[in-house]
Chains A and B, each alone.
Chain A
Amino acid sequence: MIIDPDLPFIDRILAGEQNAYAELIGRHKSYAYTIAFKILQNRPEAEEAAQDSFIKAYQNLKTFNREARFSTWLYRIVFNTSISYKRKNNKVFQSIENTVVIYTQEGEGLLEKTDKTKYLNLAMAKLNEADRTALSLFYLDEFSLEEIAAITGMQANTVKVRIHRARQRLADELKVILNHEALTL
């Protein structure tokens, strides 16, 4: 049996105390927004998708069966909603093979923190939404593979394999970036 710290809040909300939902939002908004942002790669859209997901979760709170953690259930809604937003906006999935890497020359070294973040984002943008989300959740260290699988709607083994492949792709990409940097020095 999972001891979910969100359950007392859910009980209060279902008993009619709507304001208790604000506390649940406060607890989960950062993760929800992060998931939406990793999928949509656009802040206003991610904000809208995350808000929409919280509303959907509230409207369907009675159907939450408490077999999984509330956060897992909520993030699954965020994941699906964000994927729907992505499809609506006709953003075409960019595969690792056909993405053009834009290299920029800057005075600061590659391994400066801002550069690290920039190159990480550049490399991450080449993964598909599910891999990007799974990888982010994995490195945020909050979720087990089973929970990531529940959020992204995949099997745990599939998630593990996809995270492995994504890390390998990132390693390859980083190598290309570093080689390019070395050549342009």
Chain B
Amino acid sequence: MKRISQAQEDKLLDYLDGNLDAIAEKQFEDEISSNVLLKTRLEELLAVNALFQNLSLEQPSKNFTEQVMMKLDTAPASSAWSIRNGVLLLIGVLAALGAISLLLTTGIFDSTATINLNQSELPNKILREQLPSFTLSGKLMINIIILLNIVLAWIVLDRTILRPYFQRRMQA
């Protein structure tokens, strides 16, 4: 079956919506009157427009406004933390914790390093006093990182899982 082109289809809709200028509109009307396919399609599109004449707004329940107003104070504020992202972050943090703990047990961080600031190559004009030297324990550093990770994991767990869960329970 022969069909009109997509460009003609679009032009028909522009014609129906009054988007063509006067000259183009007149030319297109002449084209329609001499082309059966265009004329038929125009009638089909007009039928769609006629169907939409019955389209009206849907109405919500009568107590819609009251229900929303009641929920305004009780509804939990929407969180920027999505559950999916939060769970992924939590898994990442826990995986990092596991990996670090594993490395810690192998003794890889047991060494210590001493930093002597006097070895720096600063000119004597600036440095007139003896600078201290201090020792860094790898194990201590890693323990601090683990501690920070545990705190982070707890915050993520609270924001993404525990808090939404208990808020839902309170609402139920």
Binary CB contact string for chain B from 1 to 18 against chain A (1 if under 8 A, 0 otherwise): 000000001100100000
**A25-B65, A59-B77 in contact; A120/B54 too (CB < 8 A)?**
yes
Cβ distance B79 to chain A, nearest Cβ, rounded Å: 11
Q: Is the interface of B mostly helix, strand, loop or mixed?
A: helix
Among A128-185, those with CB < 8 Å from B are 136, 139-140, 164, 167-168, 170-172, 174-175
Is A22 interfacial (CB-CB < 8 Å)? yes
B155 at the interface (CB under 8 A from A): no
Complex-state Cα separation, A46 to B58, whole angstroms: 10
* Cβ-defined contact, A164 with B9, below 8 A: yes
The reply to whether A55 and B72 form a contact with Cβ atoms under 8 Å apart is yes
Binary per-residue interface labels of chain B (43-83) against chain A in the complex, 1 for a CB within 8 Å, 0 otherwise: 01101101110110111110011011101100101100000
Decide yes or no whether B139 CB sits under 8 A from chain A. no
Among residues of A, the one whose C-beta sits closest to the C-beta of B45 is A171
- Count contacts on B: residues with CB < 8 A to the other chain: 28
Indicate if B159 sits at the interface (CB-CB under 8 A): no
Q: Which of A19, A31, A51 contacts B68 (CB 8 A)?
A: A51
- Residues of A within 8 A of B (CB-CB), count: 39
Closest to A111 in B: B50
Chain A residues near B48: list those with CB within 8 A: 167, 170-171, 174
A-B contact pairs, 9 of them (CB 8 A): A21-B68, A25-B65, A47-B60, A55-B68, A164-B9, A170-B51, A171-B48, A174-B48, A174-B51
Q: Interface of A with B (CB < 8 Å)?
A: 18-19, 21-22, 25-26, 29-34, 37, 46-47, 50-51, 54-56, 58-60, 113, 116-117, 119-120, 136, 139-140, 164, 167-168, 170-172, 174-175
